[in-house]
Amino acid sequence: MEGPLADLSSWKTDHCSLVKALEIVGTKSALLILREAFYGTTRFSAFAERIGITETAAARQLRHLTEAGLLEKQPYRDAGGRTRDEYVLTEMGRDLLPVVIGLMQ
């Protein structure tokens, strides 16, 4: 190898983009939430139900993916109901589609 990757002893994980990406999407539930978002799922309860995780786990992953900028909250209100949030992919989240499709294949 040549360039910055040539010296293997200098490789550090604290600034590695791959490590940072895995910290965000490197869990089963995070990838499944992204898969569901690509399929059009937006509602909190649907994410939890469709991937078979607890609401606590879904809330944690949705918050994590939102803070990372892959999802964003958008308010909605069903007739007669209170205002709630749904989760939609951001541009950065949509950019992950080829990666998720590659993993699915």
How many angstroms separate the CA atoms of 105 and 100, rounded? 9
Residue 82, token pair as written in the block: 């209170």
Which residues does 34 contact at the CB level (< 8 Å), separation at least 6?
25, 65, 70, 89, 93, 96, 100
Furthest C-alpha separation in the chain: 63
pLDDT tens digits for range 36-68: 999 999 999 999 999 999 999 999 999 999 999
pLDDT tens digits for range 22-34: 778 788 999 999 9
Cα torsion at 15, 21, 27, 69 (round to 10°)? 120
Domains of the chain listed by start with CATH number = 14-104 (1.10.10.10)
How many angstroms separate the CA atoms of 26 and 17, rounded? 13
